[in-house]
Amino acid sequence: MGLLIYLDGRLVPEEEAKVSVFDHGLLYGDGVFEGIRLYSGRIFRLEQHLDRLYESAASIRLVIPLSREEFRRAIIDTVRANGLEDGYIRPVVTRGVGDLGLDPTHCPRPTVFIIASRIQLYPESLYEQGLRIGTVSTRKNAPDSLNSRIKSLNYLNNILAKLEANEAGYAEALMLNHQGLVAECAADNIFAVRRGEVLTPPTYAGALAGITRQVVLELAPALGYPARETLLTLHELYTADEVFMTGTAAEIVPVVAIDGRIIGSGQPGPITRHLRREFVELTRKEGTPVYSSC
Ligand code: PXG
């Protein structure tokens, strides 16, 4: 059976969930989105995702035509309508329908849709073996061009990076910023573990303020590993004891090689594994219940 999609205030069958070819989300990538996980009937870190969605929208001067309360409700209703227990939720807000010019003031009404679907989980072997990733030549958009904190629909920068990684046979693309400092991966944040410390680049270096990243920054100190944001060069990654990536879809994934260089022991490291175990535990305990409230 097909999915029910939330589209501009209604739940419609996926065959009917269509947006106009004049929608500026399509014409220009003008819009914002989120990717959220549902674990055992609970939405993980929903409030933080809503914070980021509204902040991204505000940054591009897009007024979301739903209050935060209405948006929360719409997400919950969409999950319920599809009877999902575990899955992936994709809220999208576009600039809406306009003319062929790019001026957003000619788009009177933003388009809002929410897809809640099952998720294709990454195979367990990926977590056991770790990923081999590589640096790409495509640099992160400079923050004064397009700030990495905006989770916009304009993903070409990341897609070009991903294409390069694919061509080179890497599982993910490691992206540097315009200064040659480590920013993040095409669709995940990056962390290094050095002498027991858990390190990740600050958002001003070109990283998205990832929700999973934030969980790790909170979780690590609670487990006895100091964690902080710091500028990183490739040197710090190449010589790290452990490297891992974080993202809503991937959760916490070990990286065992970068640019063909083996990281640490070449196996997923103990701190990475510990963080992953605790992260999985957290996803079982936390979250906004979808079915128990009215
Ligand atoms: N950086 C970028 C550029 C991202 O797109 C993350 C970091 C991780 O953030 P969260 O909040 O998820 O911990 C993302 C994640 C996918 C996919 O299919 C992932 C993302 C966007 C679109 C698709 O894996 N964003």
Per-residue pLDDT of the chain (294 residues; tens, 9 = 90+): 799 999 999 999 999 999 999 999 999 999 999 999 999 999 999 999 999 999 999 999 999 999 999 999 999 999 999 999 999 999 999 999 999 999 999 999 999 999 999 998 889 999 999 999 999 999 999 999 999 999 999 999 999 999 999 999 999 999 999 999 999 999 999 999 999 999 999 999 999 999 999 999 999 999 999 999 999 999 999 999 999 999 999 999 999 999 999 999 999 999 999 999 999 999 999 999 999 855
The DSSP letter of residue 28 is: H
Cα(99) to centroid of ligand 1, in Å?
30
Cα(51) to centroid of ligand 1, in Å?
16
Sequence spans of domains, the chain: 4-117, 124-283
Query: Is residue 276 within 6 Å of ligand 1 at its C-beta?
Result: no
In residues, how long is the chain? 294
Which of the listed residues 208, 213, 218 should we mutate to test ligand 1's pocket, taking the one with most ligand atoms within 8 A of CB? 208
Which CATH architecture best describes the domain 4-117? 2-Layer Sandwich (3.30)
Q: In Å, how far are 206, 278, 287 from 185, measured between CA atoms?
A: 10, 23, 26
Ligand 1, atom 25: nearest CA belongs to which residue?
A: 187
Q: b/e string for 76-106 if b means 16 or more Cβ within 10 A? A: bbbbeebebeebbbbbbbbbbbbeeeeebee
Give CA–CA dist 242/125, Å, rounded.
Answer: 18
Its pTM stands at 0.96
Query: Is residue 206 within 6 Å of ligand 1 at its C-beta?
Result: no
Three-class secondary structure of residue 95 per DSSP: coil
Query: Is residue 65 within 6 Å of ligand 1 at its C-beta?
Result: no
Q: CATH code for 124-283?
A: 3.20.10.10
Question: HSE on the CB side for 160, CA within 13 Å?
Answer: 9
| Rg over CA atoms, the chain | 19
Closest CA to 185 of 241, 250, 274, 128: 250
Question: HSE on the CB side for 188, CA within 13 Å?
Answer: 23
Give CA–CA dist 166/162, Å, rounded.
Answer: 6
Give CA–CA dist 137/161, Å, rounded.
Answer: 8
Task: Report the pLDDT value the prediction gives residue 293, as an integer from 0 to 100.
Answer: 58
Cα(188) to centroid of ligand 1, in Å?
5
Ligand 1, atom 6: nearest CA belongs to which residue?
A: 188
Residue 189, φ and ψ in degrees, nearest 5: -85, 165
Ligand 1, atom 5: nearest CA belongs to which residue?
A: 187
Give CA–CA dist 280/269, Å, rounded.
Answer: 17
Closest CA to 220 of 240, 194, 202: 194
In the numeric block, which tokens belong to residue 15? 């065959």
4-117 and 124-283 in the same fold: no
Cα(248) to centroid of ligand 1, in Å?
6
Give CA–CA dist 131/258, Å, rounded.
Answer: 9
Ligand 1, atom 21: nearest CA belongs to which residue?
A: 187
